[in-house]
């Protein structure tokens, strides 16, 4: 039987009945294609599950773990301080005159008593000559007056001179004796000025930049001086600590203990020098609630420089047989501090801990971790309770595991 489409009365094309049947045919074809695609997808999925037999296993998380150790733990108090010289001297002239010669180099290390500069000595040499000449004249006059006094004393015994003449001669002798003492003072003053013409270092230390050039006239009243000398060996560091720590420090000082102090650079990475606590200031700063401490360092290799900023660490206590772990292992959450401990089956467990002190990259643990347990120090961000872990080596810091010495886990 042949299907003959109906034609519109105007003869322009198929009737609406023909178009409706065509749309239904397209819909049926699309439904068949979707059904076939779904069948193939689920068949392949079931085939994969049948081959594997079970769901995939979660891979182990790579972490670095370190054994908790039982050892002594140093407790420090840290403060930002500045290097302060024990003595800073501005060398000045003690006589007026022309600066003839400068004998030091800028930045040179000088010793106590070393010659630094010379001032023109000729005016004081002239003064010395004059004082010595006056002295010689007065000495001669004194001798003559003493001889006359002896004659007057003999004549007075013979009642040949009056008592007044004798007394006058005695006064003249005493007058010349006083003049000689004055002359001696002038001589000593001139000699002292000649000594002052040679300017020497009053302390041992490092000289700064030259303040006056040779040829200039210098005066005792000059404010700048000739040069500044700073003592470098030994040298001090002044740093503040909180007032709450003061009783502990004073108790150790009262017991006669020597408290070590370490000086580090600004970034607290390099140790510059080791010294000891010298003294404590006599008052607390009410604005900051701190008290200043002064430590002394031998500074034999000039590790410290005046006015340099350093981090000072004062050792105030040593905890014996403390459980110590690296501070990066400490985590903080809503319930407090905790660490991840690696169990024997290589799974991680959360362990709350009570931290006593954190110093220099290490933490002293009161409770929560026992010596010998492995704590995770790197990779904690991917861990949860019961997560399987894969221990990886760490550069530096040896630990033990199953009798094998390694750098880390």
For helices 163-196 and 122-157, the axis angle rounded to 10 degrees is 160
Looking at the structure, do residues 168 and 217 belong to the same domain, yes or no?
yes
pLDDT for the residue 399: 38
Say if 18 falls within a structural domain: no
Judge whether 11 lies within some domain.
no
3-state SS class at 239: strand
Residue 332 lies in a domain: yes
CA-to-CA distance for 163 and 149, rounded, in angstroms? 12
Give residue 113's pLDDT: 94
CATH, residue 285: 2.40.30.170
Q: Which domain holds residue 131?
A: 93-228
- Across 331-349, b (16+ Cβ under 10 Å) vs e yields beeeeeebbbbbeeeeebe
Residues 122, 125, 131, 132, CA torsion sign: negative
Same domain, 197 and 255: no
* pLDDT at 361 (0 to 100): 83
Predicted pLDDT at 41:
66
The alpha-helical segments, DSSP class H, found in 163-301 are: 163-196, 246-254
Cα gap 192→213, rounded to integer Å: 24
Residue 318 tokens, joined = 């040593």
DSSP letter at 19 equals: H
Whole-prediction pTM value? 0.66
Q: What is the number of domains present in the chain?
A: 3
Q: Is residue 127 part of a domain?
A: yes
The one-digit pLDDT tens for each residue of the chain (409 residues) are 444 444 444 544 555 555 555 667 666 777 777 777 766 666 665 555 545 544 455 788 899 999 999 988 888 899 999 999 999 999 999 999 999 999 999 999 999 999 999 999 999 999 999 999 999 999 999 999 999 899 988 888 888 888 898 899 899 999 999 999 999 999 999 999 999 999 999 999 999 999 999 999 999 999 999 999 999 999 999 999 999 999 999 999 998 889 999 999 988 889 999 999 999 999 999 999 999 999 999 999 999 999 999 999 999 888 888 899 999 999 998 889 999 999 989 999 999 999 988 887 889 999 999 999 999 999 888 888 888 988 888 765 443 333 333 335 4
Specify whether 257 is located in the same domain as 308: yes
Name which of 229, 231, 226, 232 is nearest 208 in CA terms. 229
262 and 330 part of one domain: no
CATH number at 139 reads: 2.40.50.100
Residue listed under structure tokens 């740093």: 239
Residue 58 maps to a domain: no
Note whether 362 and 337 are same-domain residues. yes
Identify the domain boundary among 228, 244, 269: 228
Q: Do the Cβ atoms of 13 and 7 come closer than 8 Å?
A: yes
């Amino acid at each position: 039987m042949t299907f003959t489409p109906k034609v519109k009365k105007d003869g322009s094309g198929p009737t609406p009945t023909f178009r409706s049947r065509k749309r239904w045919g397209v819909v049926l074809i699309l439904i068949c294609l979707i059904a076939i695609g779904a069948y193939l997808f689920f068949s392949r999925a079931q085939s994969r599950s049948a081959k594997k037999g079970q769901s995939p296993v979660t891979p182990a998380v790579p972490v670095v773990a370190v054994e908790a150790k039982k050892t002594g733990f140093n407790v420090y108090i840290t403060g930002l301080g500045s290097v302060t010289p024990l003595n800073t001297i501005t060398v000045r002239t003690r006589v007026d005159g022309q600066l003839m010669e400068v004998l030091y180099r800028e930045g040179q290390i000088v010793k106590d008593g070393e010659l630094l500069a010379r001032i023109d000595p000729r005016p004081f040499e002239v003064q010395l000559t004059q004082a010595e000449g006056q002295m010689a004249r007065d000495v001669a006059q004194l001798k003559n007056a003493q001889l006359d006094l002896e004659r007057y004393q003999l004549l007075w015994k013979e009642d040949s001179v009056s008592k007044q003449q004798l007394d006058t001669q005695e006064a003249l002798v005493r007058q010349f004796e006083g003049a000689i003492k004055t002359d001696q003072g002038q001589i000593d003053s001139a000699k002292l000025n000649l000594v002052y013409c040679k300017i020497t270092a009053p302390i041992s230390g490092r000289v700064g930049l030259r303040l006056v050039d040779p040829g200039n006239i210098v005066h005792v009243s000059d404010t700048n001086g000739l040069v500044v000398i700073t003592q470098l060996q030994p040298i001090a560091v002044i740093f503040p600590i909180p007032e709450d720590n003061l009783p502990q420090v004073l108790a150790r000082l009262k017991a006669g203990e020597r408290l070590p102090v370490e000086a580090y650079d600004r970034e607290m990475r390099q140790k510059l020098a080791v010294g000891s606590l010298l003294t404590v200031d006599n008052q607390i700063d009410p604005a900051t609630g701190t008290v200043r401490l002064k430590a002394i360092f031998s500074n034999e290799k000039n590790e410290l420089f005046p006015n340099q900023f350093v981090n000072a660490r004062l050792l105030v206590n040593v905890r014996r047989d403390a459980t110590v772990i690296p501070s990066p292992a400490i985590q903080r959450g809503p319930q407090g501090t905790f660490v991840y401990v690696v169990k024997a089956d290589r799974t991680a467990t959360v362990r709350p801990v009570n931290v006593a002190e954190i110093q220099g990259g290490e933490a002293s643990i009161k409770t929560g971790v026992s010596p010998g347990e492995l704590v995770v120090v790197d990779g904690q961000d991917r861990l949860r309770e019961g997560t399987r872990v894969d221990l990886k080596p760490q550069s530096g810091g040896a630990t033990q595991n199953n009798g094998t010495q390694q750098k880390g886990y």
